[in-house]
Structures are given as C-alpha cells and as structure tokens.
C-alpha cells in the first residue's frame, strides 16, 4: 500500500485517486441513474442538480483543509469561484452551438455529459503542462499574470459582445468537409450507419450531435487559455488547480439549463469578469511591491466575491427594464 503514499504532482497518489473515484461515481450516477432516459431538463431540475454540485464542490474544501491546511483551502475556494465565474461565458457559446446545430433540448444533456469526459482529460493535460512549466520556470507566472491583465483590459474596452457566426467558422467548415454528416438528428446517437447515395455502400455518418460535441470541447480549450493561467496565479499546486477546475465545470454544465433561459439578464457581467481578470493578474505584482511571499488567500477570496457580487447586481439592475417589458408566458 506504500504506492498510495507516493507523491504525484506534489500530493499523495491516494488523494488523486479519491478525487477521480468521486468524479467517476458522480458521472455514473448522473447518466446511469438520474438521466438514463432522454428528457428536457427544466429550470427546477437544473437548479437542484447545480446546487448539489456546488455544495459538493464547496464541501470538498473541507477535505482540502483537513489534508493540506487553511491556506490551501482558501486558495481552493478562490480558484473554484474564479473558474466557475469565468466559465459563465462558456454558457453563452454552448447555447449558440446548440442553436446552430438545432440540437433538441432532450438531447443536450447527453452532449454536455460526454463533453465533461473530454474536459477532465484536456484540463488534466493543460494543468499538467502548466505545473511543469511553473515548477521549472517560476518567472512564467509573471507572463500568465501580464496575459490576464491584458485580457481583462481588452474585454473591458471591447464594448458590446461580438456576434458569432458559426456558419463561417473555419472549424465547423473543416469538420463538414472532412466528415460525412447527416442532415437530421438520429435520436441521441452521435454516429449512425447509412447507405451512401453514390456508392450504395453502408458507411458511418456523424450526426449533428457529434459536431456539437466536438465544437463545445474545442471551445472549452479556448476558454481554458484564460481560466487555467488565472488559477495558477492563485496557487501553483496542481491538485488544487485541477480539483477546483473540475468541480466548477461539473456544476456549471448542470446550471446551463437554468441559465440559458435568462442569459440576457447577465449581459453586463463581462465587465465584472474583466475587473476580476485584472485583479487576479495584478496580485503577484502587488505581493512583490509589498514584500509579501504571496497575496493573502483570504483577502483574495473576499475581493473576488465582492467583484462578482457587484457585477451580478449591476447586470440585474441594468437589465431590469428588459425583464419588465418581457411579456408573460
């Protein structure tokens, strides 16, 4: 059993296996029990599932505190909140992708579920590479920080949200050129066998569900370019970075079905996200100027909550007239 005490990326192997076993158990419960049958997920079910994941994610900070101490627990909570908030933009893109490929609401959960498996793998690779770079070249944290400040200022000055046209997206056009794709949905199948009208042979065809899954996965990689460096400026411990990332994404995908109906109420949250990126990026420079070993994690958590609360309140206040003018169903 000594192998379980072997350090892997800074933490005992048993801690990594415990986390992965928990995640696998949650995924089996999700698709194997709660969502065995395809159905439209309503707002109430979405909120209940998301509340469960959020509670579990916050409770995991107790495990981090028990094994690693108070400061790592505060870093985990800060990283969890930051990742969940930055990933909100992902919901806008997911809604756009589902709309473009005309994915029925009853099958959207299945696409997001299999997308989670890809996220677990891809985020693990990105965080592993990031941890290796930070360990060997500590100065790369300053590049991460400068990148976050630049991104935050760019978002703050960009004004209105850019319009996304998936019809002209190079990736979508490439996939459609390289893959045989059906025009219609075939239940929850990602791949089907059909007779080719030219050769008469039975060939495998991708369905729109598979294209939507691929585009969502690659969109997550793009978003991770912002979020992963952001978390590395909070903590360089790969265990905290990875666990906070996965727990945040699990809960956010569950929350998609509730938030997708009210996305317009959060139209101004991007300004809070911009300020948050600038704050996260500036912490390492502030700590150096003040002569601190690192920016106090408890302060970081409090300021993060304050920025996000202000952003949510401001966005709800700015869009209150739009909500009032929306005719009742």
The residue extents of the domains of the chain are 2-148+170-265
Report which listed range, 62-66, 91-95, 255-259, is most confident: 62-66
Q: Which residues pair with 195 in a beta bridge?
A: 202
Say whether 204 sits in a helix, a strand or coil: strand
Q: Which residues pair with 192 in a beta bridge?
A: 205
Q: How many CB atoms lie within 10 A of CB 55?
A: 11
Question: Which of 23, 37, 34, 180 has the alpha carbon at shortest distance from 107?
Answer: 37
Q: What percent of the chain has pLDDT over 90?
A: 14
Q: Report pTM.
A: 0.77
pLDDT range class, residue 329, cuts 50, 70, 90: very low
pLDDT range class, residue 328, cuts 50, 70, 90: very low
Tens digit of pLDDT for each residue in 68-94?
Answer: 999 999 999 989 988 887 777 677 778
Q: How many CB atoms lie within 10 A of CB 11?
A: 18
Q: How many CB atoms lie within 10 A of CB 114?
A: 17
Q: How far are the Cα atoms of 41, 45, 107, 147, 189 from residue 38, in angstroms, in the given order?
A: 9, 14, 6, 42, 11
Tens digit of pLDDT for each residue in 276-322?
Answer: 888 878 888 888 888 887 778 778 778 887 887 888 788 878 777 66
Q: Where do the H-state alpha helices sit in 69-104?
A: 70-86, 88-100
């Amino acid at each position: 059993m000594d192998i379980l005490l072997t350090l892997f990326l800074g933490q005992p192997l048993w801690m990594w296996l415990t986390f992965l076993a928990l995640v696998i158990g949650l995924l089996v419960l999700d698709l194997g029990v709660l969502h065995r049958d395809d159905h439209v997920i309503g707002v109430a079910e979405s909120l209940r599932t998301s509340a469960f994941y959020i509670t579990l994610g916050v409770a995991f900070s107790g495990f981090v505190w028990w094994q690693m101490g108070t400061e790592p627990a505060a870093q985990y909570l800060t990283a969890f909140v930051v990742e969940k908030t930055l990933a909100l933009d992902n919901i806008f893109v997911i809604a756009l992708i589902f709309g473009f490929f005309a994915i029925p609401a009853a099958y959207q959960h299945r696409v997001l579920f299999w997308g989670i498996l890809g996220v677990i793998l891809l985020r693990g690779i990105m965080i592993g590479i990031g941890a290796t770079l930070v360990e060997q070249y500590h100065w790369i944290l300053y590049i991460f920080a400068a990148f976050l400040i630049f991104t935050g200022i760019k978002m703050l000055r960009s004004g209105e949200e850019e319009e996304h046209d998936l019809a002209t997206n190079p990736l979508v056009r490439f996939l459609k050129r390289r893959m045989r794709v059906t025009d219609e949905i075939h239940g929850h199948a990602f791949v089907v066998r059909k007779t080719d009208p030219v050769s008469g042979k039975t060939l495998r065809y991708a369905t729109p569900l598979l294209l939507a899954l691929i585009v969502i996965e690659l969109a997550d990689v793009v978003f991770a370019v912002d979020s992963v460096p952001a978390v590395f400026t909070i903590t360089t411990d790969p265990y905290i970075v990875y666990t906070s990332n996965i727990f945040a994404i699990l809960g956010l995908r569950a929350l998609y079905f509730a938030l997708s109906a009210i996305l317009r109420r959060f139209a101004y949250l991007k300004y809070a996200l911009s300020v948050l990126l600038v704050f996260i990026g500036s912490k390492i420079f502030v700590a150096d100027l003040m002569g601190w070993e690192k920016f106090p994690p408890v302060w970081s958590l409090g300021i993060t909550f304050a920025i996000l609360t202000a952003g949510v309140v401001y966005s709800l206040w700015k869009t209150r007239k739009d909500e009032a003018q929306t005719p009742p169903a």
